[in-house]
Amino acid sequence: MSITTFASPDVSAEALLSDFSQLDNQQLQDEIRGLASLTAAAMCRLLLLVAEMERRQAWADWGVRSCAHWLSWQCGFSLATAREHVRVGRALSSLPRTVALFGNGELTYAKVRAITRVATVENEELLTEYAKAATASQLEVIVRSFRRQNEVEEANAAHAKRSMEWVYEGEGVYVLTVRMTAEERAIIDRARKLAEADVSAETSAQHRPVEALVNIARSSLASGTTTSKDTHLVNLTVSAETLADDAGGECHVDGLDVSAETGRRLSCDAPVVVSLVDGTGRVLKMGRKARLFTGAARAAVLKRDRGICAFPSCTHTRWIDVHHITHWTRGGLTEPENGIVLCGFHHRAVHEGGFTVDHSFTFRTPTGVIVPKEADSLRLREFTTPLPAVAADACVSSDNGAPFDLDTAVGCLMDVTAN
Ligand SMILES: [Zn+2]
Ligand SMILES: [Zn+2]
């Protein structure tokens, strides 16, 4: 089974911008409704295919981080949208009634997305009845209200929503927004109050909690309880032969066994203390931050790669390493031509993950296939199975947005879900 490209996939702008003025108002509305239904049917197909790709992890062939990253890379979705597509696609696999209505263009993506947030085997039928009758925003209200009454569901959602972000407000001021659960808030608040006791008495009430939080971070760094690379140097003990070899060999980090390849990665760009030992375990040479890209050479690599991980599709700019294309134990120099910027994930991929990168910055999968630098262009294609012919009004809400009783709607939903 293969998906073939249309013989002439490019439709001219003249054809696309054809004159719609001959359509009367009814025809115009029918056309838009029909396309909305067709879009829903196509979206259903897309999400089911995404679910299949996620299930068999087909995206992993290319060394991307996740199915969502692949969608973002190859299909032009934002990462947030791609993640939502993966979530909805996964949910659909256990919602046959929703799939049937969605796939025939009777439920729009907006409605299906709402359904998948709360649907279970028990309540799916009722939810789809609501979805057919209500508008998308009415359905959102029902689903939100149902969720509020469903505490476990809410606790899980709160856990999933946890995030932290810095926003630059201007004039040297940064805003920190943290989303956390109640128990996490309690822990932070307790530590903050204790730390506030150590803030000087002259500090204003407005500034005290800020100083307290910064002091908590300072003491955490000073006590070395963090695993951050810069404050906590780990000791890598390995023989020079093992590091230079392609095969395995004994390698220890702070006394713990790690693979030789992990040793090669850590000695590639992490401020580790490298202890090279001979066959009897005698330490030959110790070097702190051995052979790392530092100073001008590091700056040149970062400038050339714009500080972004060089792996195709990756956009990471934080926690990046400068990888030696030829490892320093094999004669690779710490010169810009031998360095490449990689995020932690992809640095691991080219060491432990079996991916390779050469001096033309071409990445290959463990089986030797080149990872394309550019995404394939999006094209209209013929489908393996034709999309269904959809009725022109398939996606229209049957109740046309008529008012509904929220308490009754949610009550019924609670009843069927509990049973
Ligand atoms: Zn490396
Ligand atoms: Zn990366």
pLDDT tens-digit profile of 166-180? 888 887 788 999 998
262, 253 Cβ separation under 8 angstroms? yes
pLDDT score for 6? 41
Cα 210 to middle of ligand 2, angstroms: 33
pLDDT score for 231? 46
Distances, alpha carbon 75 to alpha carbons 68, 90, 319, 385, in Å: 10, 18, 27, 21
Label the pairing between strands 235-239 and 273-277: parallel
Question: Which ligand sits closest to the CA of 269?
Answer: 1
Q: Which residue has the higher pLDDT, 15 or 328?
A: 328
Cα 344 to middle of ligand 2, angstroms: 7
Q: Which residue has the higher pLDDT, 260 or 383?
A: 260
Give the pLDDT confidence of 43-79 residue by residue, as tens digits. Answer: 999 999 999 999 999 998 888 889 999 999 999 999 9
Question: Which ligand sits closest to the CA of 307?
Answer: 2
Mean pLDDT highest for which of 102-106, 251-255, 387-391? 102-106
Question: Which ligand sits closest to the CA of 353?
Answer: 1
Cα 86 to middle of ligand 2, angstroms: 21
For the chain, how long is the longest CA-to-CA vector? 90
Rounded-to-integer distance, Cα 363 and Cα 369, Å: 8
Question: Which ligand sits closest to the CA of 357?
Answer: 1
Question: Which ligand sits closest to the CA of 69?
Answer: 2
* Percent of the chain's residues with pLDDT above 70: 86
Mean pLDDT of the chain: 83
| Mean predicted confidence (pLDDT) in 82-109 | 96
Rounded-to-integer distance, Cα 57 and Cα 185, Å: 36
17: number of CA atoms within 13 Å, CB side? Answer: 3
For residue 364, pLDDT beyond 90: yes
Give the pLDDT confidence of 127-144 residue by residue, as tens digits. Answer: 999 999 999 999 999 998
Q: Which residues surround ligand 1, an ion (CB under 5 A)?
A: 268, 323
pLDDT score for 154? 67
For residue 281, pLDDT beyond 60: yes
